[in-house]
């Protein structure tokens, strides 16, 4: 009985958005309401010492952006909330894609001034493929932005999902007076600069004269008109449709002012799904199953630069995880024990003895674990759905200090294991090429190699269009292909064969000339 009770208490979700929509600020305020921190950090300025709690890498504090997924846990209304704050910057999208495999639902932050932006569209496409339940939070209502009805239409059109507003703004920018919660049937008034929130005023009858006194006759009339229109356009909220990823509840607020965040959190706790079943290559595993299983979705080296440690992030999928108990590593087929299993508050960690489905556990690792690995008590099969995508930018690694070759090798290997980028080593000449989805990743890799491993390198641009993983049912045809294209054949960090195509035209020609060879643009095939 205890296991089912623990599962019912848990909510594991990720926060996604385009850069600068206010995602990390919202994360801070959610932690504030959950009592996990006493003071919200500043996200932007490097002059401010109270940096956002979820930005723990030095380069994140300097640049004012999130470049790695942070994991944070807190308790709210007797629920254990596991929150994963993802990088907003598109150059780090692959870290976000992997993180979305470890969550059961998502909160999507949209800037009311800019509306739906390109990175939000890409992330939403990933959520749609997995039918992940999504709640939208339209942020920065204290600024002059787009008309709320236009924003709802834009979300439906660009993100291909139906919406259901559960709160509605009264004014915007300098005229912003607050929101009316359709979910609670309560009025929440906004006071600029106020950091503490008053309780909402319950108003079930919109024709109550008290509404006119509180927000003024004109705004009260506009609110009544808007809500009447909403009732005509949008049906009653259907939780089942939300859980199936078909409808996105929408909330309005201003995260930087703490406004609208508690209403979002209260509704989230009520409607968001507990830990869900997950598929392995052999079967679908329900969280209630007694046998423990889980998968690694992220690895981070040097979270504490003083100890040079390496931590693997494990999502518990079924049963219960116990510290010091041996578990089977299914890829290596060997038993592993973890004596220092940890729970997270960004960079703050505490040792835990037990963890349940939905929980994220940090495992200290000496190099046995890779992204996508499955740990379990029995051979349940490897968990699916954590691929690497073909990068978009390729640069050769040039060692700037021959005396630090070992440090460079170790640093590259560990950073690639984290999924920061992908490393391809050519069969001919052993040239090493790093592939990323954005230019900023090279800056991060270079910075971390120098400051965490003492290795210095440069990156030389390469004329490569696509990295294609290759295989064939005909071993002889594969051998002949590799021999004929030897100059363009490399291996990824796991030793898989990769064809490095220099242009789209040439790739199409090669595919036509070698019909027995399969070309894959993701590593999981």
The H or E element containing residue 3 is helix 2-9
> What pLDDT sits at residue 122?
80
> Could you give all domains of the chain from N- to C-terminal order, each with its CATH number?
7-271 (3.40.50.300), 281-376 (3.40.50.300), 393-520 (3.30.70.3280)
> What pLDDT score was predicted for residue 321?
96
Give the per-residue pLDDT at 66: 39
pLDDT of residue 48: 33
Please report the DSSP string for 335-395 in residue order.
EE--S--EEEETTEEEE-SEE-TT-EEEEE-SS---TT-EEESS---PBP--PPBPPSEEE
Helix (H) or strand (E) run with residue 498 in it:
strand 497-501
Pair type for strands 422-426 and 360-364: unpaired
Q: Quote the distance between the C-alpha of residue 224 and its chain's center.
A: 38
Supply the pLDDT for residue 49: 38
Structure tokens at 286: 């329900």
Half-sphere exposure of 89 (CA within 13 A, CB side): 17
**Residue 49 backbone phi and psi in degrees, to 5:** -80, -25
Residue 413 has a pLDDT of: 87
Residues 193-232: tens digit of each pLDDT: 655 555 668 777 777 888 888 888 899 999 999 999 998 8
What pTM value is reported for the model? 0.79
Closest by Cα among 248, 207, 366 to 299: 366
pLDDT at 487: 96
Strands 10-17 and 105-111: parallel
| Confidence at residue 51, expressed as pLDDT on a 0 to 100 scale | 44
Output the pLDDT for position 452. Answer: 87
The per-residue pLDDT for 308 is 56
Please, are residues 412 and 456 in contact by the beta-carbon 8 Å criterion? no
Q: How many residues does the chain have?
A: 525
C-alpha to C-alpha distance for 328 and 305, rounded to whole angstroms: 30
> pLDDT means per 10 residues in the chain (525 residues)?
90 89 86 62 36 45 47 88 73 70 95 91 85 96 94 96 95 91 88 61 79 88 93 92 96 91 93 95 94 91 61 93 94 91 70 93 87 92 79 94 93 83 93 88 90 93 96 96 96 93 96 96 75
Tokens of 299: 């690895």
Element spanning 415, H or E: helix 405-418
User: What span, in angstroms and rounded, lies between the C-alpha atoms of 430 and 475?
Assistant: 24
Instruction: Give the span between the Cα atoms of 156 and 448, in whole angstroms.
Output: 40
Give CA–CA dist 404/382, Å, rounded: 37
Q: Which residues contact 173 (CB under 8 A, 6 or more apart)?
A: 142, 143, 144, 145
pLDDT of residue 359: 95
Measure the CA–CA gap between 437 and 141, rounded to whole angstroms.
Answer: 32
Neighbours of 523 (CB within 10 A): 19
How far apart CA 445 and CA 461 sit, in angstroms, is: 15
Closest CA to 66 of 79, 83, 82, 80: 83
SS3 418: helix
**Contact (CB, 8 A) for 261 and 29:** yes
Burial of residue 47 (number of CB atoms within 10 Å: 0-12, 13-18, 19+): exposed
**pLDDT at res. 346:** 47
What is the reported pLDDT for 74? 87
Q: Residue 77: is it exposed, middle or buried by C-beta count within 10 angstroms (0-12/13-18/19+)?
A: exposed
């Amino acid at each position: 009985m205890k296991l089912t009770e623990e599962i019912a208490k848990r909510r594991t979700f990720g926060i996604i958005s385009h850069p600068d929509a206010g995602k990390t600020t919202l994360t801070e305020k959610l932690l504030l309401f959950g009592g996990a921190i006493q003071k919200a950090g500043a996200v932007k300025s490097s002059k401010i010492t109270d940096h956002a709690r979820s930005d723990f890498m030095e380069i994140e504090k300097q640049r004012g952006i999130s470049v790695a997924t942070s994991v944070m846990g807190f308790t709210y209304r007797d629920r254990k909330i596991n929150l994963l704050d993802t990088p907003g910057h598109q150059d780090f999208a692959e870290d976000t894609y992997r993180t979305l495999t470890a969550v059961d639902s998502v909160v999507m932050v949209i800037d009311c001034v800019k509306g739906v932006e390109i990175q939000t569209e890409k992330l939403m496409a990933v959520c749609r493929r997995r039918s992940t339940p999504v709640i939208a939070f339209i942020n920065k209502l204290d600024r002059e932005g787009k008309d709320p009805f236009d924003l709802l239409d834009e979300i439906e059109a660009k993100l291909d999902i139906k919406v259901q507003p559960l709160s509605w703004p009264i004014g915007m920018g300098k005229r912003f007076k607050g929101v009316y919660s359709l979910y609670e049937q309560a009025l929440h008034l906004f006071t600029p600069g106020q950091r503490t929130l008053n309780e909402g005023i319950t108003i079930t009858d919109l024709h109550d004269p008290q509404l006119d006194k509180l927000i003024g006759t004109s705004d009260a009339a506009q609110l009544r008109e808007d809500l009447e229109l909403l009732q005509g356009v949008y049906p009653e909220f259907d939780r089942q449709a939300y859980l199936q990823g078909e409808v996105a509840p929408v909330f309005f607020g201003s995260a930087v002012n703490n406004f609208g965040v508690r209403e979002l959190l209260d509704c989230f706790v009520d409607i968001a799904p507990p830990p869900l079943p997950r598929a392995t290559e052999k079967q679908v595993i329900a969280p209630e199953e007694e046998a423990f299983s889980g998968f690694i979705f992220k690895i981070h080296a040097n979270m504490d630069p003083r100890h040079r440690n390496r931590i693997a992030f494990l999502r518990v999928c079924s049963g219960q995880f116990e510290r010091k108990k041996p578990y089977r590593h299914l890829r290596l087929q060997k038993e592993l024990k973890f004596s220092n299993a940890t729970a997270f508050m960004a960079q703050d960690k505490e040792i835990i003895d037990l963890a349940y489905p939905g929980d994220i556990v940090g495992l200290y690792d000496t190099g046995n674990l890779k992204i996508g690995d499955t740990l379990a008590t029995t051979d349940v099969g490897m968990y699916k759905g954590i691929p690497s995508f073909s990068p978009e930018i390729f640069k050769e690694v040039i060692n700037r200090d021959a005396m630090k070759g070992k440090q460079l090798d170790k640093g590259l290997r560990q950073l690639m294991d984290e999924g920061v980028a992908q490393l391809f080593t050519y069969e001919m000449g052993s040239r090493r090429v790093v592939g990323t989805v954005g230019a900023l990743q090279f800056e991060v890799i270079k910075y971390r190699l120098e400051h965490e491993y003492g290795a210095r390198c440069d990156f030389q641009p390469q004329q490569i269009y696509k990295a294609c993983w290759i295989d064939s049912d005909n071993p002889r045809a594969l051998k002949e292909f590799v021999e004929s294209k030897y100059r363009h054949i490399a291996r990824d960090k796991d030793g898989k064969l990769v064809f490095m195509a220099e242009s789209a035209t040439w790739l199409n020609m090669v595919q036509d000339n070698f019909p027995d060879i399969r070309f894959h643009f993701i590593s999981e095939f």
